[in-house]
């Protein structure tokens, strides 16, 4: 009798703990049926300066895209632009004045072949080139170090609080399914990347990506938390994740989706006519809800 009583107490305790865990693990959801601030501007952008980039060949190429991968800033707001075609780095100050250029096409210590991304981390420039190589330079362009980073299909490189984050895509053997993965890399040890986020992209690998870029949907904050759309082609909602990749909040709006315009459809068909006829690509009914997540950093001086 005593043994049965103890067993019953244990069972009730387990059920109670389980219920509490489920309750605590519940994701908070916040949805609005209408805007809280009607007829008001959410963000006002002020034009600071114009830059003459006619000598940077990358901006004159019709095939050039995803400029986020080749532009970054240092702690003094100097802008670094990697020209993928000339393999040079251009540096502008916070007023748009050209400070210096360095690099070039070749295999020398301060040269590159097939560079595809640039990241500034404190007083160092990381240039990722060819397939899995990267090279580290000083902010003045002097060679420091080079190594390998075995990261397949990188879509975005970002540094937050001295940690690297890499957002990449992964396809299956049939090249039909697509998965997005976020990796956290501490102390520049690319061989010990920690996977903190996975997302199966519903349309798959054959979905169009001609007027938006998947990596722009991701926003990582300074404390390591990050945001990503719940279903960017079908829902007006964004999921907030903690720094370990656990979803903690879903928020958004409740209203009908807007279909692609006639002009957008015609442009899509003109670009992918062969793939459409083969059945390799299908035009989505709705455009992405979030085209790009971005944050504004406030500078306080004095």
Which tokens go with 83? 């020209």
In three-state secondary structure terms, 86 is coil
- Residue 56 makes CB contacts below 8 A (sequence gap 6+) with 81, 83, 86, 90
**Residues 188-212 pLDDT 10s:** 888 888 999 999 998 888 776 667 7
Question: For 105, phi and psi rounded to 5 degrees?
Answer: -85, 125
Question: For 96, phi and psi rounded to 5 degrees?
Answer: 85, 10
Distance CA 66, CA 82 (A): 12
**Residues 61-96 pLDDT 10s:** 655 566 788 999 998 999 999 998 899 999 999 888
Distance CA 137, CA 121 (A): 10
Which tokens go with 294? 């971005």
Domains and their CATH numbers in the chain: 50-148 (2.40.10.480)
What share of the chain has pLDDT > 70, as a percent?
A: 82
Which tokens go with 296? 């504004």
Contact 283, 208 (CB under 8 A): yes
**In the predicted structure, residue 165 carries a pLDDT above the cut 90:** yes
Place of tokens 């500078």: 299
**In the predicted structure, residue 278 carries a pLDDT above the cut 70:** yes
């Amino acid at each position: 009798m005593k043994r049965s009583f103890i067993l019953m107490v244990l069972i009730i305790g387990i059920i109670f703990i389980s219920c509490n865990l489920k309750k605590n693990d519940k994701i908070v959801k916040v949805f609005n049926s209408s805007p809280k601030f009607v007829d008001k501007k959410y963000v006002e952008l002020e034009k600071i300066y114009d830059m003459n980039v006619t000598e940077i060949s990358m901006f004159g190429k019709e095939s050039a895209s995803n400029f986020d991968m080749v532009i970054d800033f240092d702690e003094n707001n100097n802008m670094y632009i990697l020209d993928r075609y000339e393999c040079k780095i251009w540096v502008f100050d916070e007023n748009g004045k050209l400070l210096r250029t360095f690099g070039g096409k070749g295999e020398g210590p301060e040269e590159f072949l097939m560079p595809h991304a640039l990241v500034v981390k404190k007083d160092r420039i990381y240039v990722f080139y060819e397939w899995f190589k990267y090279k580290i330079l000083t902010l003045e362009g002097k060679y420091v170090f080079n190594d390998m980073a075995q990261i397949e299909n990188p879509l975005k490189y970002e540094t937050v609080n001295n940690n690297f984050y890499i957002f990449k895509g992964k396809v299956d053997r049939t090249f039909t399914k697509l998965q997005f993965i976020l990796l956290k890399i501490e102390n520049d040890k690319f061989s010990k990347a920690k996977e903190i986020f996975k997302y199966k992209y519903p349309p798959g690998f054959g979905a169009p990506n001609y007027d938006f870029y998947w990596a722009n949907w991701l926003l990582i904050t300074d404390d390591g938390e990050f945001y990503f759309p719940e279903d960017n082609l079908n829902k007006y909602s964004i999921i907030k994740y903690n720094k370990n990749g656990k979803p903690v909040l879903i928020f958004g709006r409740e209203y009908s989706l807007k279909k692609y315009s006639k002009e957008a459809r015609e442009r899509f068909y003109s670009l992918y006519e062969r793939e459409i006829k083969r059945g390799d690509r299908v035009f989505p009914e709705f455009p992405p809800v979030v085209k790009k997540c971005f944050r504004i950093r406030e500078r306080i001086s004095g």
